[in-house]
Chains A and B, each alone.
Chain A
Amino acid sequence: GAGVSQSPSNKVTEKGKDVELRCDPISGHTALYWYRQSLGQGLEFLIYFQGNSAPDKSGLPSDRFSAERTGGSVSTLTIQRTQQEDSAVYLCASSLVRGGSDTQYFGPGTRLTVL
């Protein structure tokens, strides 16, 4: 079956522009996670969805970042007024049931470059 997919795979944008990153989780997975992978920084947790709700948004780096999930499936991560420090690989993962302890299946990532 299909794994987690993300689009676009690469995005180059100018500073100040808004970007939308999309994640399609594995069908039937109720939990969805967003991470950011910066050079030398490891993986930074951004947000977690259980169904369509996000119990904890404290991982989002600033109020320029927002995320939503509709229909318990697709999620979009939106970055407004992008800055150069937003350049990173954004990873999405999903798991069958609630909980960070459940195996997370990762997508291929979206590489964002802000010029």
Chain B
Amino acid sequence: AQRVTQPEKLLSVFKGAPVELKCNYSYSGSPELFWYVQYSRQRLQLLLRHISRESIKGFTADLNKGETSFHLKKPFAQEEDSAMYYCALVNFGNEKLTFGTGTRLTIIP
């Protein structure tokens, strides 16, 4: 069965410091992974997906199949990065998107 694990429920980082939100997954096939973000009083929205290999708002995430990880990184945190972040994995068989339990990131000014 597919599973997404985000070990940190809460993460606090000083402004300007590097950020890393951890995500590990288990999936028997070739995975497709995403990061979704929910800012305060806003809707859940897609931040980035691994197949795009793009940087959004300074965030990047690299799929490491050996470590089954998809950690989200940003070199210099900004106050507006404070939000709830969810890692997610898609099952191509039933189109089910499995989310992790989320990490609440707080940037300390």
Contacts and interface: CB of A to CB of B under 8 A. Distances in A.
Interface residues of A, number: 29
Contacts of B92: 99-101
Interface string A1-32: 00110000000000000000000000000010
A91 B102 CA distance: 15
Contact of B43 (A56, A100, A106): A106
Contact of B94 (A31, A55, A103, A106): A55
A104 B95 CA distance: 12
Contact of B44 (A40, A55, A106): A106
Contacts of A107: 43
A93 B38 CA distance: 14
Contact of A31 (B32, B49, B95, B98): B95
Contacts of B90: 99-101
B8 to A, nearest CB: 13
Interface residues of B, number: 20
Q: Interface residues of B: mostly helix, strand, loop or mixed?
A: strand
Contacts, number: 60
B88 to A, nearest CB: 8
Contacts of B32: 101
Contacts of B43: 3-4, 106-109
A48 B96 contact: yes
Given A91-B44, A100-B90, A106-B44, A45 B101 contact: no
Nearest to B51: A101
Contacts of A104: 46, 97
A42 B6 CA distance: 10
Given A33-B97, A100-B90, A101-B92, 5 more contacts: A31-B95, A43-B44, A59-B96, A103-B49, A106-B44
Interface of A: 3-4, 31, 33, 35, 40-45, 48, 50, 55-56, 59, 91, 93, 98-101, 103-109
